[in-house]
Amino acid sequence: MLVIGVDTGGTFTDFVFRDGDRWGVYKCLSSPDNPARAVLEGLRRIAGKRQKRVVHGSTVATNAILERKGARTALVTNAGFEDLIEIGRQNRERLYDLAYRREPHVVPAGLRFGVGGRILHTGEILEPL
């Protein structure tokens, strides 16, 4: 079976494919107004109507976060975990720099919401939503 990996970036959409022992690559311009268009174009050129398995990844969301160009975003999480992204993992670039200032978070504190509900590792509902 033909296996195709796709990465949609801001400028290019890249494809890597394997067909048995044969490997190949294909690249086309991304279509930011409709990212699916570039993906579908590449799939048609590589595989036509053949059966295929597709694995897709995207740097579009990553770039939007890094460049702070994404939409205004809220975070809905379990009650008590609203500030988890603020706390982070406590890894700091300059551990002892008292004047160090972090970048503002992608989701401001006023747009973080906690809701009830807990599910155990077994799938049993401990507390319903």
- Selection from 37, 39, 31, 36 nearest residue 10 by Cα: 31
Which domains does the chain possess? 2-66 (3.30.420.40), 73-129 (no CATH)
**Least confident segment among 6-10, 64-68, 74-78:** 64-68
How far apart (Å, rounded) are the C-alpha atoms in residues 24 and 46? 9
Residue 14 has pLDDT above 80, yes or no: yes
How far apart (Å, rounded) are the C-alpha atoms in residues 60 and 12? 10
Within 1-129, residue ranges assigned H as helices are 35-47, 60-67, 84-87
Write the pLDDT tens digit of every residue in 99-112. 888 778 889 999 99
Quickly state the pLDDT bin for 17 (edges 50, 70, 90).
Answer: very high
How do 12-19 and 22-29 pair as beta strands? antiparallel
Write the pLDDT tens digit of every residue in 48-59. 888 889 988 888
Type of residue numbered 119: I
Average pLDDT, the chain: 88
How far apart (Å, rounded) are the C-alpha atoms in residues 23 and 88? 40
- Selection from 109, 128, 107 nearest residue 119 by Cα: 128
Quickly state the pLDDT bin for 85 (edges 50, 70, 90).
Answer: confident
> What predicted TM-score, i.e. pTM, was given to this entire model?
0.53
